[in-house]
Amino acid sequence: MKLKKLYVAIAATLPLLGSFAANAADVDKENRVFGSIFTEYYMPDTDKTESPAWDYMKKDWGYGLEIGYYLNETWALRAEYARLEMQSKLNGSDVNGNRFGIDAMYHLPQMPSIYIVGGLKRFDAARNTTAVNVGVGYKHFFNQNFALYAEGNRYQGIDKSYADAGIKLGVSYLFGSVAEKAAPTPAPAPAQVVEQPVKVADTDGDGVPNNRDKCPNTAANHKVDADGCTIFVEKVASVGDVDIEVRFPFDSAVIPADHRFDVQNLGAFMQRFPEATVLIEGHASKIGSPEYNMKLSQRRADAVAKVLKQDFNIAQDRISTIGYGETKPRVNGSTREAHRANQRIEAKVTATIKEPVLR
């Protein structure tokens, strides 16, 4: 009955936690180490509180620490040590013990502040036992490093029959910082060619003698460089706007598998035209605050850019992204249809063309 009440209470708080879950989407956790300290209210199974084999241990407090690693934005691993300061309800004597274990953590994609945890634990309070645990938690980040969290677990004995429960409250620190992208290395300036004062024939009449003319027979009205080759000027021409019809889940920047078709078409187009560049614009509907929607639209644009780079090998310098949030709606209004129409990605594709400079 105790465990049922614990999990009913946790389940009842999930909708409330979900309303604050957006902060985790702004934290870059991938490939970062975290450490935590916590206090825990530990509740032994009724069989323990009524059994001399378990020294009639009663509910009490403990504390501990964790060290973990985020494999990506969804999965993390951690190791845990806890000190359980238990007492006997029979005579108040100590039934202290330790708990060691490892856990896997799965963060919900649509509510990344909420996670499910499961693992294996070893206890030495009163008796040496092994248990598996499963639970749910909520972690609230205040910035890129600090967070508070609450977590509830059920501990099911493997070699002994019991079902304990515990509630943790703690603080976490995410080590490191978000890496900044290095500025591209400027291309070296072309080497200057020194003209030799040798008078030889100039067949095409471009002013460059035949012995140095690398581009013979250039057009008479074209300006040429020191090698006798036509000088071109680069101009940016618009290829067109490509509407990327991606429908993201609510409060998510993860592209669903069934909405990747247009992104794949864009990637194939960029491969066919290596001179083309693309500006990916992210847009959001008017659900939530303008500040959060601006960040959400930027993450959605970055998600499309990531597919182009990873799946189609499009160079970084050919892709740029910008988030407009809710500032450029396609459809005005607050209807469901308007929200769906405004939760979109647009791509503006341009190409650099060369035109000869005339004399």
Q: What is the pLDDT of residues 140-165, one digit of tens each?
A: 999 989 999 999 999 999 999 999 99
Alpha carbons within 13 angstroms on the beta-carbon side of residue 54 total 20
Token representation of residue 105: 């953590």
Joined tokens for residue 25: 């989407």
At residue 15, does pLDDT exceed 60? no
Looking at residue 151, its pLDDT comes to 96
Query: Looking at the domain 234-356, which fold is it?
Result: 60s Ribosomal Protein L30; Chain: A; (3.30.1330)
Q: What is the DSSP string of 326-347?
A: TSS-SS-SSSHHHHHHHS-EEE
Of residues 82 and 245, the one with the higher pLDDT is 82
| pLDDT band at 80; cut points 50, 70, 90 | very high
Q: Is the pLDDT of residue 237 over 70?
A: no
CA distance linking residue 298 with residue 21, whole number of Å: 18
pLDDT value at position 16? 43
According to the model, what pLDDT value does residue 89 have?
84
Where are the extended beta strands (E) located within 184-317?
232-244, 276-282
**What is the rounded average pLDDT for all residues in the chain?**
83
Q: Residue 219 to residues 215, 227, 234, 235, 342: CA-CA distances in angstroms?
A: 10, 14, 19, 21, 51
3-state helix, strand, coil in the chain (%, to 5): 20, 40, 40
Q: Please tell me the predicted confidence (pLDDT) of residue 206.
A: 78
- The model's pLDDT over 99-127, given as tens digits with 9 standing for 90+, comes to 999 999 999 988 889 999 999 999 998 89
| Residues 6 or more apart whose Cβ sits within 8 Å of residue 258 | none
DSSP state of 57: B
In terms of pLDDT, which residue wins out, 129 or 231? 129
The rounded radius of gyration (Å) of the Cα atoms in the chain is 32
25 closest CA partner among 344, 264, 284 = 284
Q: Are 252 and 109 in contact (CB under 8 A)?
A: yes
What is 2-174's CATH topology?
Answer: Porin (2.40.160)
Structural domain boundaries in the chain = 2-174, 234-356
Q: What is the pLDDT of residue 330?
A: 85
Q: Calculate mean pLDDT across residues 341-354.
A: 79
Residue 247 has pLDDT above 80, yes or no: no
Q: What is the pLDDT of residue 204?
A: 78
pLDDT at 254: 81
Nearest to 65, CA basis, from 82, 49, 53: 82
Q: How far is CA 117 from CA 35, 41, 45, 114, in A?
A: 16, 18, 20, 10
Q: How far apart are CA 48 and CA 125, in angstroms?
A: 11
CA distances 61 to 7, 44, 229, 251, Å, are 19, 11, 83, 37
pTM of the model: 0.46
Per residue in 252-302, pLDDT tens? Answer: 778 877 778 888 888 888 888 888 899 999 888 888 888 998 998 899 889
Q: Do domains 2-174 and 234-356 have the same CATH topology?
A: no
Q: What is the model's pLDDT at position 184? A: 59
Confidence of residue 18 (pLDDT cuts 50, 70, 90): very low
pLDDT at 211 (0 to 100): 81
